[in-house]
Chain A
Amino acid sequence: QKEVEQNSGPLSVPEGAIASLNCTYSDRGSQSFFWYRQYSGKSPELIMFIYSNGDKEDGRFTAQLNKASQYVSLLIRDSQPSDSATYLCAVEDSGAGSYQLTFGKGTKLSVIP
């Protein structure tokens, strides 16, 4: 069974700091990786996806992927209180053409003003 592991937190960072969220996955054949943000009582929304080893930047967010280590991370620069949410790492399984996502349990981030 494919597994996606995340530290459940909570992770607390002061406003303006860098928040670092980490994720490991078990399926070495996984190719696509996604970060979703979920506010309390709300549904997940996509922040970023990454397919290639290395870094991908979008505004204050940077996703990092290391397929050899089966590790993906999300950095949030200049963290804001509005970034306080649970961040879900998801790994795509493209077996049999289904393109399903397996989600981790999520890391709860709290940005302290």
Chain B
Amino acid sequence: EAGVAQSPRYKIIEKRQSVAFWCNPISGHATLYWYQQILGQGPKLLIQFQNNGVVDDSQLPKDRFSAERLKGVDSTLKIQPAKLEDSAVYLCASSLVPGYNEQFFGPGTRLTVL
């Protein structure tokens, strides 16, 4: 069974630039999560999708971050414009259904904002 795929694996940008991350969850997984993990911290949930609808985006900085999950499969997370404090690993995870909370994580995208 293929795992959660993410790209790119690494990205270096300058502040005020924009960046986008892509995630492909495990086939059949209805729930998709985007997390931000700052060095030395645990993952922090940014947004949760159930199929192609948003379940919770209360911790997403909506003035600069946006996310979508078209057709209930792939998802993209965008930052525009980026700030220095956005430097982190962005993790995508999926689970079969909500409440069955073995979340499977992708390899992550390490973002460095200079």
A residues near B, CB below 8 A? 4, 8, 32, 34, 42-46, 49, 88, 90, 92, 94, 96-106
Contact = CB atoms under 8 A, between A and B. Distances in A.
Contacts of B105: 43-45
B72 interface: no
B41 A92 contact: no
A99 B30 CA distance: 13
B20 interface: no
Interface residues of B, number: 20
A34 B44 CA distance: 15
B58 to A, nearest CB: 10
B106 A99 contact: no
Contacts of A102: 45
A100 B60 CA distance: 14
B40 A105 contact: yes
Contact of A43 (B40, B55, B56, B108): B108
15 contacts: A8-B40, A44-B43, A44-B91, A46-B102, A88-B42, A88-B43, A92-B101, A94-B99, A97-B55, A99-B98, A100-B45, A100-B56, A101-B101, A101-B103, A105-B41
